[in-house]
């Protein structure tokens, strides 16, 4: 990593996420940190498609929802670790099969048509989740219990640690944090492997990649399957955190829009961008309303009900200043210092 500001920024985010339960007390802070971890995983898996392979898909939240529903329905049946493992395995299997089927049927068509196909498939899955109320709870969703270790009433330590009660909620948070770190490192290793180099070659010039002997449909389908299964695990983590699953929590198209915003703001073609983009957007969504509440006496434009307007302005501002994303901008600055004039 040749950009020192980028390295410092990533280190600060990592340190902040690792210590949130101990330095920021309150449900809002730890909830924001947990969502940052989950969205880092979701955005990184999506960037494997968009940034490294050049594939535009709108079905990513479908795989996110499959993970959430797989874990949630399994725990609703029995709040035990074997039941959770079975639900995760079933969700991963379904996501892998669906992603390969979609890839084999659609990845040979043009990018726009593939995007429309994935949008249609995601809409069908969301409709099924809403209609099958006997299984999924319909629009109301379904709440469930989690294993005892992850329950808020559980105490891992009898005394406070640095002023924080180590209960099941904190244990769940560090489970999410550890899983995010592990899966992110695996994705980072994948994109820096020969497989990742082929994906980048396909993104830059698919016809040239085919001409030198690579089966581009195979590589794109494999990338879709990997991205889908990582998104599925992100959905599992979200369901464990919320102890609830419903269409709005994982299958909403608003989530897909958030993922696109995080990917663009952080920078496509760099997994590090998912960390920065997810952190900025989640913090803005969590604290922007509170910040506007403190400023509404100064100007009527700072009305808390208009926080989405300000979020949109922040997005436009970021895109204008960082057209290649924040990571791309920081790397370009580093390259200008390294290369001679």
pLDDT at 164 over 50: yes
Specify the pLDDT at position 107.
59
165: left (phi over 0), alpha (psi -120 to 50) or beta: beta
pLDDT at 250 over 90: no
274-316 pLDDT tens trace? 999 999 989 888 887 777 666 666 666 666 666 677 777 777 8
Specify the pLDDT at position 117.
82
Task: Identify which has the larger pLDDT, 163 or 36.
Answer: 36
Structure tokens at 171: 């244990």
CA 244 to each of CA 10, 36, 141, 240: distance values in angstroms, whole numbers, following the listed order: 31, 18, 7, 8
- Contact by Cβ (8 Å): 36, 17: yes
Number of domains in the chain: 1
Closest C-alpha among 14, 9, 148 to residue 78: 148
Buried/exposed code over 53-87 (b: 16+ C-beta within 10 A; e: otherwise): bbbbbbbbbbbbbbbbbbbbbbbbeebeeebbebb
pLDDT at 339 over 70: no
Whole-angstrom distance, CA of residue 96 vs CA of residue 87: 14
199-215 pLDDT tens trace? 888 888 878 888 888 88
189-201 pLDDT tens trace? 999 999 889 888 8
Q: What is the mean pLDDT of the chain?
A: 85
pLDDT at 6 over 80: yes
- Contact by Cβ (8 Å): 130, 139: yes
Specify the pLDDT at position 252.
85
pLDDT at 267 over 90: no
Specify the pLDDT at position 151.
84
Q: Coil, helix or strand for 54? A: coil
pTM to 2 decimal places: 0.90
Mean pLDDT value of segment 106-116: 69
Looking at residue 1, what DSSP letter applies? -
Nearby residues of 128 by Cβ (< 8 Å), 6 or more positions away: none
Whole-number CA gyration radius for the chain = 21
Whole-angstrom distance, CA of residue 185 vs CA of residue 165: 29
pLDDT at 69 over 90: yes
pLDDT-above-90 percentage for the chain: 30
pLDDT at 99 over 80: yes
- The domain that holds 211 is classified in CATH as 1.10.3470
Whole-angstrom distance, CA of residue 82 vs CA of residue 110: 43
Is 185 exposed, middle or buried, given 0-12, 13-18 or 19+ CB atoms closer than 10 A?
exposed
Structure tokens at 36: 């940052």
pLDDT at 110 over 80: no
Specify the pLDDT at position 301.
64
Host domain of residue 52: 4-338
pLDDT at 244 over 60: yes
Closest C-alpha among 155, 129, 12 to residue 72: 129
β-strand 142-143 against 244-245: which pairing, if any? antiparallel
């Amino acid at each position: 990593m040749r950009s020192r500001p980028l390295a410092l920024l990533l280190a600060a985010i990592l340190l902040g996420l690792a210590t949130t339960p101990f330095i920021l007390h309150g449900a809002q802070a730890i909830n924001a940190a947990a969502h940052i971890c989950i969205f880092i995983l979701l955005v990184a898996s999506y960037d494997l498609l968009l940034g490294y392979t050049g594939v535009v898909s709108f079905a990513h939240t479908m795989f996110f929802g499959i993970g959430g529903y797989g874990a949630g329905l399994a725990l609703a049946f029995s709040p035990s670790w074997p039941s959770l493992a079975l639900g995760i395995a079933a969700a991963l299997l379904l996501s892998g099969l669906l992603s390969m089927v979609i890839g084999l049927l659609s990845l040979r068509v043009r990018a726009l048509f593939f995007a429309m196909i994935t949008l249609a498939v995601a809409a069908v899955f969301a409709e099924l989740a809403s209609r099958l109320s006997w299984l999924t709870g319909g629009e109301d969703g379904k709440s469930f219990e989690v294993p005892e270790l992850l329950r808020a009433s559980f105490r891992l330590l009898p005394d406070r640690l640095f002023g924080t009660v180590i209960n099941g909620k904190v244990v769940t948070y560090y489970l999410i944090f550890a899983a995010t770190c592990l899966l992110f490192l695996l994705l980072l290793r994948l994109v820096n492997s020969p497989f990742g180099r082929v994906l980048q070659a396909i993104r830059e010039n698919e016809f040239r990649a085919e001409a030198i002997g690579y089966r581009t449909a195979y590589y794109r389908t494999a990338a879709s399957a990997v991205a889908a299964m990582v998104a599925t695990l992100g959905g599992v983590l979200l369901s464990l955190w919320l102890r609830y699953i419903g269409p709005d929590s994982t299958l909403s198209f608003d989530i897909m829009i958030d993922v696109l915003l995080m990917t663009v703001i952080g920078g496509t073609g760099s997994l590090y961008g998912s960390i920065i983009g997810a952190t900025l957007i989640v913090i803005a969504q969590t604290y922007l309303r509170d910040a506007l509440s403190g400023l509404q006496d100064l100007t009527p434009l700072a009305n808390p009900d208009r926080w989405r307007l300000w979020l949109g302005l922040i997005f436009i501002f970021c895109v204008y200043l960082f057209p290649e994303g924040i990571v791309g901008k920081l790397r370009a600055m580093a390259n200008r210092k390294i290369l001679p004039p």
